[in-house]
Amino acid sequence: MGNLRLFPSGIARLRSSVYHWAMSFPRNALRSVFALLLLVSPGLAGGAEDQKLVLIAGKPSHPPLMHEFRAGCLLLQNCLEGVEGLTVDVHDQGWVDDDKVLADADAIVIFADGGGRHPAIQENRLEVLGALMEKGVGFGCMHYGVEVPPDKGAKEMVAWIGGRYEHMYSCNPIWEPQFQDLPKHAVTQGVSPFQIKDEWYFNMRFIGGIVGNEPSKQPSMSFTPILMGKPSDDVRDGPYVYPKGPYEHILSSKGRTESMLWVVERSDGGRGFGFTGGHFHMNWGNDDFRKVVLNTLVWLAKVNVPGKGIESSVTEEQLKANLDKKGK
Which residues bind to Zn ion, rule: CB under 5 A?
199, 279
In the complex with Zn ion, the residue whose CB is nearer, 160 or 165, is: 165
Minimum gap (Å) between residue 173 Cβ and Zn ion: 11
- Alpha-carbon distance 72 to 144, whole Å? 14
What number of other Cβ atoms are within 10 A of residue 209's Cβ?
7
In the complex with Zn ion, the residue whose CB is nearer, 199 or 324, is: 199
Which of 281, 264, 273, 275 shows the shortest CA–CA distance to 224? 264
Minimum gap (Å) between residue 240 Cβ and Zn ion: 11
CA atoms 283, 291, 45, 102: torsion sign: negative
Cβ contacts of residue 121 below 8 Å, gap of 6+? 148, 149, 152, 153
* Contact assessment for residue 299 and residue 291, using Cβ atoms and an 8 Å cutoff: no
In the complex with Zn ion, the residue whose CB is nearer, 46 or 278, is: 278
Which of 98, 119, 99 shows the shortest CA–CA distance to 109? 119
What number of other Cβ atoms are within 10 A of residue 107's Cβ?
27
Cβ contacts of residue 234 below 8 Å, gap of 6+? none
Minimum gap (Å) between residue 186 Cβ and Zn ion: 27
Please give the backbone phi and psi of residue 202, each rounded to the nearest 5 degrees, phi first: -150, 180
Triad 207, 213, 217: Cα angle to 5° = 50
* Contact assessment for residue 302 and residue 49, using Cβ atoms and an 8 Å cutoff: no
In the complex with Zn ion, the residue whose CB is nearer, 46 or 277, is: 277
Minimum gap (Å) between residue 212 Cβ and Zn ion: 20
- Write the CA distances from 323 to 70, 73, 85, 151, 318, integer angstroms: 7, 11, 28, 33, 10
In the complex with Zn ion, the residue whose CB is nearer, 50 or 199, is: 199
In the complex with Zn ion, the residue whose CB is nearer, 111 or 262, is: 111
Nearest residue to Zn ion, using CB?
279
In the complex with Zn ion, the residue whose CB is nearer, 240 or 299, is: 240
* Contact assessment for residue 95 and residue 56, using Cβ atoms and an 8 Å cutoff: yes
